[in-house]
Amino acid sequence: MPEGLIVKAISGFYYVEHEGRVIQCKGRGVFRNRGISPLVGDLVTFHQEGDNDATITEVHDRKNELVRPPIANVDQSLLVFSIIEPDLSLHLLDRFLVIVESLGIEPIICLTKRDIAGEKQLAFADTAVSYYKKIGYDVLETHRDDSSLLASLQPYLSGKTSVLAGQSGVGKSTLLNTLLPELQLKTGEISEALGRGRHTTRHVELMKVAGGLVADTPGFSSLDFEHIEREELRNYFIEMDRLSSECKFRGCLHLKEPGCAVKQAVEEGEVLQQRYDNYLQFLQEITDRKPRYM
């Protein structure tokens, strides 16, 4: 039976791309019984009876899934942050990085508004950029209205499913309009749509850009650590994760344990103090959260 990718879902219909064509499919009740609801981004098997009668018969295993926006199998996220207006927040950036790392999504950090930043903000951004690059992240920097952005993003988009995310007011709508000119969203429009309930019924669509797929949404809005356990958090700070094999104790939480390689690296300036502080703060947040009731 043919397989395809769900690129759009509207009022009970799924639009499945298969060999260059988009086929409108119905879902099958059987999914609901198993608690599975097909999502945009799902690879599915479908059964076609006539020209206008196709049904999804199987949803293939997912590598991950986002709740808002509802998308499955996201490969990477463009984390959009500005250097100024609003100022770059490493706390928020690390929060996004932890979330995407925990979902197995590859982050690409995009810093905007370089051209209008003052000396102080630039110096801060440059220090941050060199650190995040050093630990292995891709960082792209752009001016406010930069037409070269698409060109610099292109090699990253090819063959992947990408979702935008980031601080509000940083130019996500501008970036999305540059990537998807047919979308023509008004600047500001989608920042309002970000998890405010007003546009929650708006459907999500995967659009073709530069040989890849980009979701036409400002990105995920849930930034809590509900799904992350206390002992798990350290894995999502990638440079600390690499160092942890040198800690004296297996399972070191890098708090007050003796012989902790992470704490030593922080003291020597190898690990950015702010990253470590954010780790401690997130750990506290997870420790303090109310137990979940099933």
Q: CA torsion angle for 181, 184, 188, 191 (degrees, to 10)?
A: -70
Nearer to Zn ion (CB atom), residue 13 or residue 249: 249
Q: Measured from the CB of residue 278, what is the shortest distance to Zn ion in angstroms?
A: 16
Nearer to Zn ion (CB atom), residue 221 or residue 264: 264
Token output for 252: 């070191």
Region 192-251 residues binding Zn ion, contact defined as CB under 5 A: 247
Is residue 260 at the binding interface for Zn ion, with CB under 5 A as the rule?
yes
Of 56, 252, 271, 272, the one binding Zn ion (CB under 5 A) is 252
Task: Find out whether 279 and 244 touch, Cβ atoms under 8 Å.
Answer: no
> Which of these ranges, 107-115, 120-128, 174-182, 259-267, lies near Zn ion under the rule CB under 5 A?
259-267
Interaction pattern, residues 261-280, with Zn ion; x per rule: CB under 5 A: -x------------------
Q: Measured from the CB of residue 264, what is the shortest distance to Zn ion in angstroms?
A: 9
Cα gap 263→259, rounded to integer Å = 8
Token output for 64: 């991950």
Task: Find out whether 175 and 214 touch, Cβ atoms under 8 Å.
Answer: no
Task: Find out whether 128 and 90 touch, Cβ atoms under 8 Å.
Answer: yes
Q: Measured from the CB of residue 256, what is the shortest distance to Zn ion in angstroms?
A: 10
Is residue 157 at the binding interface for Zn ion, with CB under 5 A as the rule?
no
Task: Find out whether 73 and 60 touch, Cβ atoms under 8 Å.
Answer: no
Nearer to Zn ion (CB atom), residue 25 or residue 260: 260
| DSSP codes, 203-222 | --BEEEETTEEEESSS----
Nearer to Zn ion (CB atom), residue 194 or residue 262: 262
Q: Measured from the CB of residue 106, what is the shortest distance to Zn ion in angstroms?
A: 25
List the one residue out of 131, 130, 209, 216 whose CA is nearest residue 173.
216
Q: How far is CA 272 from CA 48, 135, 138, 284, in A?
A: 55, 10, 17, 19
Q: Measured from the CB of residue 269, what is the shortest distance to Zn ion in angstroms?
A: 17
Number of residues that bind Zn ion (CB under 5 A): 5
∠ CA 93-101-41, rounded to 5° = 110
Q: Measured from the CB of residue 232, what is the shortest distance to Zn ion in angstroms?
A: 15
Of 8, 172, 254, 275, the one binding Zn ion (CB under 5 A) is 254
Q: Measured from the CB of residue 228, what is the shortest distance to Zn ion in angstroms?
A: 18
Nearer to Zn ion (CB atom), residue 149 or residue 260: 260
List the one residue out of 136, 146, 80, 94 whose CA is nearest residue 115.
146
Q: Measured from the CB of residue 249, what is the shortest distance to Zn ion in angstroms?
A: 7
Nearer to Zn ion (CB atom), residue 172 or residue 254: 254
Nearer to Zn ion (CB atom), residue 74 or residue 243: 243
Task: Find out whether 50 and 20 touch, Cβ atoms under 8 Å.
Answer: no
Nearer to Zn ion (CB atom), residue 5 or residue 247: 247
Task: Find out whether 219 and 172 touch, Cβ atoms under 8 Å.
Answer: yes
Residue 40 DSSP code: B
Residue numbers of the site for Zn ion (CB under 5 A)? 247, 252, 254, 260, 262
